[in-house]
Chains A and B, each alone.
Chain A
């Protein structure tokens, strides 16, 4: 089977830094993405890692280690509006493959305290 494991809940303080981990076990691996979803809203794209290392986009960074089948999302200078669910997602076949699909983890609910 294919699985992506994330912590179900994380709580952090406003202004702090939080890391959300994701480990994956899929038939193939062609990139790890992160999405944010506020309650009642649609998932929105945050970041993508195709190669090992760190990608930075403003307050958000994402890391990938393909040898460890592991990645994380790092959120800095937390704001109350960052309270949301965060999903890691893996593409399991090359993008040009007809059988390609993107699989999502079950999500991490991040709660920010003042």
Chain B
């Protein structure tokens, strides 16, 4: 068990550019979540996959955000035409399927700075 891995750890980009982040979950976990966190706030839900199916997406998420999880393994989160308001820590979490106690395992995150 190597934990949840996220790449890159830091990303600096100019406004208007596209960025893509990658998340490698714990191998036997079939659920994968993306969250966004700004300083002093809790993780804000973005989207959720069960295996390769994207089952839920936040209504707050603009069309500039898209996520994929091909083959139900790693996932990518792309932000198109970045804006300064997109600057945040992007966290990925995975968990095994459970109908009751669900424990999320978080990666260390990707810190995005949009200049």
Contact = CB atoms under 8 A, between A and B. Distances in A.
Interface residues of B, number: 28
A99 B48 CA distance: 9
A98 interface: yes
Interface in A80-101: 87, 89, 91, 94-96, 98-101
Contact of B102 (A4, A31, A44, A103): A31
B105 A104 contact: no
Among A45, A48, A96, A106, find the residue whose CB has the most chain B CB atoms closer than 10 A: A45
Contact of A106 (B42, B53, B99, B103): B42
B91 A43 contact: yes
30 contacts: A4-B42, A31-B102, A35-B104, A42-B91, A42-B108, A42-B109, A43-B43, A43-B91, A43-B93, A43-B104, A43-B106, A44-B106, A45-B103, A48-B102, A48-B103, A50-B101, A96-B99, A98-B50, A98-B56, A99-B55, A100-B48, A100-B55, A100-B56, A101-B56, A102-B33, A102-B45, A102-B102, A104-B44, A105-B42, A109-B40
Interface of A: 4, 31, 33, 35, 41-45, 48, 50, 87, 89, 91, 94-96, 98-107, 109
